[in-house]
């Protein structure tokens, strides 16, 4: 991880927030060579194993890489042994991310050696945020790595593979050019699952003092409306009925207003609320969600969208991180607990049944017992349907990592256990409140038992029910009859 801190220093300069127009113009000027599929067909390997770590943004990037490779006749396989190309799509937000990557790479080494001895290809690519943070360090430390691809460079994957096939050297691409990435990926998508992701925004300018994202994903950039709409249409065409808009700071999304009939902000821009209204007009789109939001960017229009946009589901993941104002200030969150509670009140006024989820960090440097109790107090006051909580862990190069007042590990463990049991009680109580209700469920896949399907309620709970396969991709009312540890059990309500 030592190496990371050097790179983080460089990223801080790179992450300076350019006005969006400049970024877009630069990206347009930088269109690059993309080999035609026919030219690549003979030189490229034919099966790919992609391992995805971390968040939904990474899952989205993996899906897009698989799709691009599909255009070059790559087949996805589910084990590295069966692959000619292995992509490790890494996440940097958890502790020891780089160490995990290097140990996974170590496990691929015998496979690579075996293939080389047999005179066959075995291309190893490292993608995602660890690739971005470590850059050429990955290749230097692990010589079996052929390609290093930052999250903004995934559209160059085919080009990099072709060059790699020619040169057999190591290839590194960790540029920050997300608009270009979106440009180049184009809207074409494979058949979609009933519930699909669509990235509309990347990066973060918030610089919370504990977090690596602004360094690994770069500054906030919004994807243009036309591209989002085109991708949404193609997802719907492919069978998606629910779309989840993704972004590290999804509600920081902004773009020049697109159509009449949806009131723009005073400066002529649209925010996420307006984008939701716009997408809600698409035929056959039945559900819309977005994640992850920041309390600072929750504006009136977006809150109002929960009241007025029917397809927008009543569920919001809104990380609070802490209930203590002193800790929130030390985290550089830019909001107080009062602000957070005010948002919750306004959201509930707009959509009384809205279910909320959150992220919390326990044991942030300087957190006292009373700070921690303030977090418990906030959780009690809000009542979450779900929440994630983490022990603070140092990320080299971030300001909090150098703070002198670190909380001892055993104290963090105690605080975390307490908080998690409170959150678990709230989650169970929320689930139990659904018993006897008929919830509309979007069936997404087969269940564990024959004749059973699994879908999601509006509140993002998994629901199992006996249902014919013909219900896949459809929404039907399901009466909730019981609870399993992580899901609801239901019965299809009479049609
Ligand atoms: N330590 C612990 N948790 C962290 N998160 C981000 N960085 C850290 C860190 N250094 C958590 C935050 C964020 C979630 C995705 O991961 O709660 O919202
Ligand atoms: Fe990280 Fe804070 Fe940005 Fe979220 S808002 S990605 S926690 S810096």
The pLDDT tens digits of the residues spanning 433-460 come to: 999 999 999 999 999 899 999 999 999 9
**Cα of 111 to ligand 2 centre, how many Å?**
37
Ligand 1 contacts CB of residue 361 (under 6 A): yes
Ligand 2 contacts CB of residue 247 (under 6 A): no
Ligand 2 contacts CB of residue 213 (under 6 A): yes
- Which class for 166: exposed (0-12), middle (13-18), buried (19 or more C-beta within 10 A)? exposed
Cα 270 to Cα 231, 260, 302, distances in angstroms: 18, 11, 10
Q: Do domains 319-432 and 438-492 have the same CATH topology?
A: no
The residue to which tokens 């698989």 are assigned = 66
Ligand 1 contacts CB of residue 393 (under 6 A): yes
Q: Say what the pLDDT of residue 19 is.
A: 29
Collapsed DSSP state (helix, strand, coil) of residue 490: strand
Ligand 1 contacts CB of residue 319 (under 6 A): yes
Cis before residue 292, ω within 30 degrees of 0? yes
Query: 344 near 388, Cβ under 8 Å?
Result: no
Rounded Cα–Cα distance for residues 495 and 482 (Å): 20
Question: If we measure between CA atoms, which residue out of 194, 160, 157 comes closest to residue 64?
Answer: 157
Ligand 2 contacts CB of residue 211 (under 6 A): yes
Rounded Cα–Cα distance for residues 369 and 411 (Å): 10
Rounded Cα–Cα distance for residues 194 and 286 (Å): 10
The residue to which tokens 């360094």 are assigned = 215
Ligand 1 contacts CB of residue 124 (under 6 A): no
Ranges under pLDDT 70 in the chain: 1-45, 166-191, 495
The strand pairing partners of 126, in sequence order, are: 88, 148
Using the atom order of ligand 2, give the atom closest to the CA of residue 214. 8
- The pLDDT tens digits for 357-381 are 999 999 999 999 999 999 999 999 9
**Cα of 1 to ligand 2 centre, how many Å?**
20
Residue identifier of the C-alpha nearest atom 7 of ligand 1: 211
Ligand 2 contacts CB of residue 248 (under 6 A): yes
Per the structure block, which two tokens stand in for 306? 């929960």
Question: If we measure between CA atoms, which residue out of 441, 442, 423, 425 comes closest to residue 433?
Answer: 425
Query: Superfamily for 438-492?
Result: Nucleic acid-binding proteins (2.40.50.140)
H helices within 118-156, ranges in order?
128-134, 136-141
Q: Say what the pLDDT of residue 351 is.
A: 98
Query: Regarding the domain delimited by 319-432, which CATH topology (the fold level of the hierarchy) does it fall under?
Result: Transcription Regulator spoIIAA (3.30.750)
| Ligand (nearest to CA of 93) | 1
Using the atom order of ligand 1, give the atom closest to the CA of residue 393. 1
**Cα of 54 to ligand 2 centre, how many Å?**
15
Rounded Cα–Cα distance for residues 152 and 30 (Å): 13
Ligand 1 contacts CB of residue 321 (under 6 A): yes
| Ligand (nearest to CA of 319) | 1
Question: If we measure between CA atoms, which residue out of 26, 33, 237 comes closest to residue 155?
Answer: 33
How many C-beta atoms surround the C-beta of residue 411 within 10 A?
15
Collapsed DSSP state (helix, strand, coil) of residue 249: coil
Query: Superfamily for 31-176?
Result: Methylthiotransferase, N-terminal domain (3.40.50.12160)
Does the structural domain 180-313 have CATH classification 3.30.750.210?
yes
Q: Say what the pLDDT of residue 171 is.
A: 64
Q: Say what the pLDDT of residue 116 is.
A: 84
Q: Provide the CA 62 distance to its chain's centre, in angstroms.
A: 11
Residue identifier of the C-alpha nearest atom 2 of ligand 2: 208
pTM over 0.75: yes
Domain chopping of the chain, boundaries: 31-176, 180-313, 319-432, 438-492
Per the structure block, which two tokens stand in for 128? 């995602």
Ligand 1 contacts CB of residue 210 (under 6 A): yes
Q: Say what the pLDDT of residue 143 is.
A: 84
**Cα of 415 to ligand 2 centre, how many Å?**
22
Rounded Cα–Cα distance for residues 482 and 463 (Å): 10
Query: 86 near 80, Cβ under 8 Å?
Result: yes
């Amino acid at each position: 991880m030592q190496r990371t801190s050097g790179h983080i220093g460089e990223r801080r300069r790179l992450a300076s927030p350019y006005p969006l127009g400049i970024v877009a113009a630069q990206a347009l000027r930088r269109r690059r060579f993309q080999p035609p599929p026919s030219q690549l067909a003979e030189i490229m390997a034919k099966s790919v194993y992609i391992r995805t770590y971390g968040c939904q943004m990474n899952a989205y990037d993996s899906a897009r890489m698989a799709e691009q490779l599909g255009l070059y006749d790559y087949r996805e396989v589910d084990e590295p042994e069966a692959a000619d190309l292995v992509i490790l799509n890494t996440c940097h937000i958890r502790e020891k991310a780089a160490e995990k990557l290097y140990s996974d790479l170590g496990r691929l080494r015998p496979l690579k050696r075996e293939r080389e001895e047999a005179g066959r290809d075995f291309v190893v690519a490292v993608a995602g945020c660890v690739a971005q943070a470590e850059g050429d360090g990955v290749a230097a430390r692990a010589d079996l790595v052929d390609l290093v691809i930052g999250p903004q460079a995934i559209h160059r994957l085919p080009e990099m593979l072709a060059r790699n096939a020619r040169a057999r050297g190591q290839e590194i691409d960790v540029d920050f050019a997300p608009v270009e990435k979106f440009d180049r990926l184009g809207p074409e998508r494979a058949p979609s699952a009933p519930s699909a992701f669509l990235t509309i925004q990347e990066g973060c300018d918030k610089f919370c003092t504990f977090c690596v994202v602004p360094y690994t994903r770069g500054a906030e950039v919004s994807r243009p409306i036309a591209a989002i709409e085109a991708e949404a249409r193609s997802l719907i065409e492919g069978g998606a009925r629910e779309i989840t808009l993704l972004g590290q700071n999804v509600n920081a999304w902004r773009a020049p207003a697109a159509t009449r009939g949806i009131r723009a902000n005073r400066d002529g821009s649209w925010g996420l609320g307006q984008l939701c209204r716009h997408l809600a007009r698409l035929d056959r789109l039945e559900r819309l969600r977005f994640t992850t939001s920041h309390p600072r960017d929750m504006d009136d229009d977006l809150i109002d969208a929960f009241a007025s946009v029917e397809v927008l589901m009543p569920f919001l993941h809104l990380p609070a991180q802490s209930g203590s104002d002193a800790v929130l200030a030390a985290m550089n969150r830019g909001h107080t607990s009062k602000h957070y509670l005010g948002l919750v009140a306004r959201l509930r006024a707009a959509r009384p049944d809205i279910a909320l989820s959150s992220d919390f960090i326990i044991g942030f440097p300087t957190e006292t017992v009373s700070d921690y109790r303030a977090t418990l107090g906030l959780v009690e006051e809000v009542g979450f349907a779900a929440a994630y909580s983490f022990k603070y862990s140092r990320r080299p190069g971030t300001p909090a990592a150098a703070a002198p007042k670190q909380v001892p590990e055993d104290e963090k463990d105690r605080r975390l256990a307490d908080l998690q049991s409170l959150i678990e009680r709230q989650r169970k109580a929320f689930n139990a409140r659904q018993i006897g209700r008929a919830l509309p469920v979007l069936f997404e896949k087969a269940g564990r038992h024959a004749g059973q399907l699994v879908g999601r309620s509006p509140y993002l709970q998994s629901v199992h029910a006996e249902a014919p396969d013909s219900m896949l991709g459809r929404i039907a009312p399901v009466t909730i009859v019981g609870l399993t540890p992580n899901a609801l059990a239901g019965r299809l309500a009479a049609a």
